[in-house]
Structure 1
Amino acid sequence: MAATDSHRQNAVHTVQQALDEQVQAWNSGDLEKAMTYYWNSPEMLWINATGVEKGCQEVLDMFRKNFADTGQMGLYTYTPLYTEQLSEEAVYYVFRWQIAREGKRLMGGVSSQLWKKINGRWVVTAEHAS
C-alpha cells in the first residue's frame, strides 16, 4: 500500500473515530462535549430543512433550545454511507442518522459533513442534515 493510501485511510479512520466520540457524548446527554467536535468559529455552517445557520455558538444555542434536557436528546445512531478524503486536511463524510427515544424514531435522515484538520484537530466545519 502506498504511503498516500495509508495516510488517507488514517485520516478517514480518525474522522470516523471522532464522529463515534461525538455520538457517545450526545448519547450521554453531554451536548457541550458533543459540540466540541464542531469548529468553534462564527464561520461554522449548519444547513437543514429550515435553512442555514452560521456559527458554532448559534448552532449550540439552537440545540439547547430544541433539546432542553437530556431526555429529549434520545439515542443517536448512524450508518456510514460514503467517505472521501478531499485533501490532507479535509474529509467528506455522508451517513444515515436517527434519533430515537424509548425505541421510537423521533427524527432522522442523511447528513453530509465536511471535516477539516484545524490546529492539528479534526472538526466539522460544515454539516447538511436532512
Structure 2
Amino acid sequence: MRMLLLLVSLAITSQVFSQQNDEKDLRKLLQDQQEAWNRGDISSFMKGYWNSDSLMFIGGKGVTYGFRNTWERYKKTYDSREKMGTLAFDLLHFIPLAADAYMVVGKWHLTRTVGDIGGYYTLIFRKIDGKWLIISDHTSQG
C-alpha cells in the first residue's frame, strides 16, 4: 500500500512539474511573438505557428487555412508599422488538453497612432517534434 501511494505521489508530482514546464515554454513562445511583432518582424512572429496547410486562423472575416495564407493575411492587414503598433498580450488561462496539447486564452491590444484596437484570443497549441506550435488561432476584435 505504501509503495502504491508513493508511486501515485511521484506520478502526480511529475505531471505537475511537466505542466509547469509546458506553461513556461508557452509563455516564452508568446513573449517571443510579442517581441517580434513589436520589432515589425512578421516572419519571426509566424515562427510560433504550425507551418502546415492544416493551420487555422479564425477572425472576423472567417477562417483562413494554412500557414502561407495566414502569413499573407497578417502582411496585408498590417502592412505598415503604424498599423502594427505595439502589441501587448494579457495571458488569462492555460488549460492542458492532453500531454501534447494546450489551450491558451488571453487578451491582445495594439497601441497605434492610427487608433488602438484589441480583443481576445483562443490558441490551441500542439507539441510537434518537441516544439510547441499554434495549430489554431481564434482571434476576436472588440
TM-score by length of 2: 0.86
Superposed structure 1 runs of 4+ greater than 6 Å apart: none
1:25 aligns with 2:55: no
CA shift, 1:49, in A, is 1.5
- In structure 2, give the amino acid aligned to 1:38: Y
Could you list the runs of 5+ residues in structure 2 that have no partner in the other structure?
A: 1-11
- Structure with the larger helix share: 2
1:59 aligns with 2:59: no
In structure 2, what is the equivalent of residue 112 of structure 1?
Answer: 122
- In structure 2, give the amino acid aligned to 1:16: R
Q: CA-to-partner distance for each residue in 1:17-36, whole Å, 9 max, x for gaps?
A: 10010110000100011011
- Structure with the larger strand share: 1
Aligned pairs (5 A) from 1:28-107: 28-102=39-113, 104-105=115-116, 107=117
Report the count of equivalent residues. Answer: 129
Structure exhibiting the larger radius of gyration computed from Cα positions: 2
In the superposition, relative to structure 1, how do residues 4 and 42 fare at CA in structure 2: closer, same or farther (>3 Å)? same
Whether contact under 8 Å (1:42, 1:56) holds in the other structure is yes
Whole-Å Cα distance in 1 between the matches of residues 80 and 109 of structure 2? 18
- In structure 2, give the amino acid aligned to 1:54: Y
- In structure 2, give the amino acid aligned to 1:10: N
Q: Percent identity?
A: 27
